[in-house]
Structure 1
Amino acid sequence: MDEHEIEALGKSKIIIKNGKVVSVEEPIVDYCPLFDKYRGIKKLTKDSIKENIEFRIQDFGMCTADRKFPSQDFLSIGASEIMSTLLKKGFLDATVIVCDGCGTVVVTDPDKVEGLAGRISGVIKTSPIKNVISFVGISNVLDPESCEINQVKGLKMAISKNYKNIAVTISNAKDIPEIRKIEKNNSCSILIFGVHTTGISKADAAIFMEHGDIITACMSEEIKEIGDKKNIYKTKTKIPIYAPTEKGKNAIEIRLKEIENKN
């Protein structure tokens, strides 16, 4: 069945079936500075959310067989842009990310990271899309039949391919202790990106900020509160990205330097 569930634009739950938006739930916040800046959306409502998702389906075929993979940077500094830069510069061997039509995947090509993840939101469930699986390479998809989303298993898969410096995107803070354990037991270096953090609990925010490397604040007051209280390094972007570790800070600065050199 061609069905995809994503959380986007204020963490509204959206279901897309056969290329059509069939369900949009109320968002948990009604404003996002990114969508205001890039799409002129002043207030997140079910209608404005549906319109934006339909635009993405039409523009690059999100969650459909017409999926395209735009590899130009969407944001100056976001998770996929940082990962792409680190892959390009040789600081990373692989990334473990989630995309529509595949679920959890291991990607080593910087352009593919941006093409797959640059313009999508939090994928909760997805079903197989042939051209996306072909683009990624079937051997790089955790489960091409079920499109399982499981970042811990994805990390183990990356390690089994002998990658040592790996970035992994995490939206569930409960996965982080397990990832740090895997890192220690396999003598590798894992860069944990905390993503999709809007609406998370104080306890989960604390785990992200204590054990993650790069955390996108999204619209999470909990992340911002901890980050600012502890004076954690952050970007000056509209939606701050925090780096609780030296490793995270260095990664962000490598990306900032690349942007500077482009301008």
Structure 2
Amino acid sequence: MPHVMEMLGTSRVTVADGKVVDVGKSRIRWCPLFDKLHGIKEITEDAVRTNMEFRIAELGMFTKARNLDVDVFVNFGASEVMMTGLRTGLIDTTVTACDGAGTVITDNPGLVQGMGAQISGLVETEPIQEIIDGIRERSGTVVDPDAASIDPAVGVCHASELGYRRIAVTVIDPATALLIRRIESELGIKAIIIAAHITALSRSEVQDLLDLVDIVTGCASKHVRDLVNPLAQVGTAIPLFALTQAGKELVIERAKEIETPVLINTMPLPVLPEQKQPAGWEL
């Protein structure tokens, strides 16, 4: 089975044997984040391929040479927020996904950052033993090492079985978020749900999602920008929105670790300067 990841406007990229074998079409033409970080002025199939090849070469993504000790990629990404939450004790563990391993549980701040720093929307992956071994060496639990399946709800249940009570988990759709809320109630745990990779969701799906999660990334979603009513916001181009008190505490705690100056102010949210938003939506 090849590895499949959606990135740069949900372009679906297929990787096999460490090589990019297929690149789908992006839903947007320009992303302010990747323009800033990689100088990508227009998201074309060639640009997506080049960026995926960069991740394979630099991080060993989808290969046995995967680097799991990656530093901060953006100041306020999902993995960065979870990393800080673990360091400060706001959460006990995390449930995320990693290429070559599938769903992973870890209370190691460095590992959750290393796995998530430059990963995008992982659709499917296959087991890579060297990655699984590396995760285990760093105090991570691979939920399904035989198939590397991706199932956040199963991950939350397993984390609860391991004794964790305050569990941060990433999701990409409202159905999974709803299931985790039900599990949370049944097991008597606290789930902090972070929604990412939501560009392709419909308006109704986004509304359902916003009613269920604690933090949501803006990604390139017009619907999130139209519907969100956050308690806190970080970033203005590809913003991260805190929707609950628990989410707000995580985001503000993350701000304490940022080494560059931080502006804190009160104002109506969201704040979305038009010139900074992704362009060329094809939704």
Class of the TM-score when normalised by the shorter of the 2 chains: over 0.9
The TM-score, its normalising length taken from structure 2, stands at 0.88
Instruction: Name which structure has the greater RCO, CA cutoff 8 Å, separation 6+.
Output: 2
Q: In the alignment, which residue of structure 2 is the partner of 1:68? A: 67
CA distance in 2, matches of 1:79, 1:241: 8
CA distance in 1, matches of 2:176, 2:84: 25
Q: In the alignment, which residue of structure 2 is the partner of 1:39? A: 38
TM superposition outliers: structure 1 runs of 4+ over 6 Å: none
Q: Across the two proteins, how many residue pairs are aligned to each other? A: 260
User: Secondary structure in 2 aligned to 1:185?
Assistant: helix
CA distance in 1, matches of 2:257, 2:67: 25
Distance 1:232 1:86, change over 3 A: closer
Amino acid at match of 1:193: I
The alpha-carbon deviation at position 243 of structure 1 amounts to: 1.2
Amino acid at match of 1:196: H
CA distance in 2, matches of 1:251, 1:217: 17
CA distance in 2, matches of 1:182, 1:236: 31
Q: Which runs of 5+ in 1 are unaligned?
A: none
Amino acid at match of 2:217: T
- Say whether 1:206 aligns with 2:193: no
Q: What percent identity do the matched residue pairs reach?
A: 37
More helix by share: 1
- Say whether 1:53 aligns with 2:52: yes
The alpha-carbon deviation at position 232 of structure 1 amounts to: 4.7
Amino acid at match of 2:177: I
Distance 1:93 1:232, change over 3 A: closer
Q: In the alignment, which residue of structure 1 is the partner of 2:124? A: 125
Q: In the alignment, which residue of structure 2 is the partner of 1:112? A: 111
User: Secondary structure in 1 aligned to 2:253?
Assistant: helix
Q: In the alignment, which residue of structure 2 is the partner of 1:187? A: 188
The TM-score, its normalising length taken from structure 1, stands at 0.95
Deviates more, 1:84-93 or 1:131-140: 131-140
Q: Which runs of 5+ in 2 are unaligned?
A: 263-283
CA distance in 2, matches of 1:249, 1:69: 28
CA distance in 2, matches of 1:120, 1:142: 18
Does the aligned pair in 2 maintain the 1:214–1:242 contact within 8 Å? yes
Does the aligned pair in 1 maintain the 2:173–2:209 contact within 8 Å? no
User: Secondary structure in 2 aligned to 1:36?
Assistant: helix
The alpha-carbon deviation at position 254 of structure 1 amounts to: 0.4
Deviations 1:138-194 (A, max 9, x none): 981111111111111111010010100100000021111111111112221110000
Amino acid at match of 2:15: I
User: Secondary structure in 2 aligned to 1:120?
Assistant: coil
Distance 1:239 1:261, change over 3 A: closer
CA distance in 1, matches of 2:221, 2:69: 28
Q: In the alignment, which residue of structure 1 is the partner of 2:25? A: 26
Q: In the alignment, which residue of structure 1 is the partner of 2:4? A: 5
CA distance in 2, matches of 1:9, 1:118: 15
The CA RMSD over aligned residues, in Å, is: 1.6
Deviations 1:66-97 (A, max 9, x none): 11123311111100000000001111111000
TM alignment of 1:131-146, pairs within 5 A: 131-137=130-136, 140-146=141-147
CA distance in 1, matches of 2:201, 2:105: 26
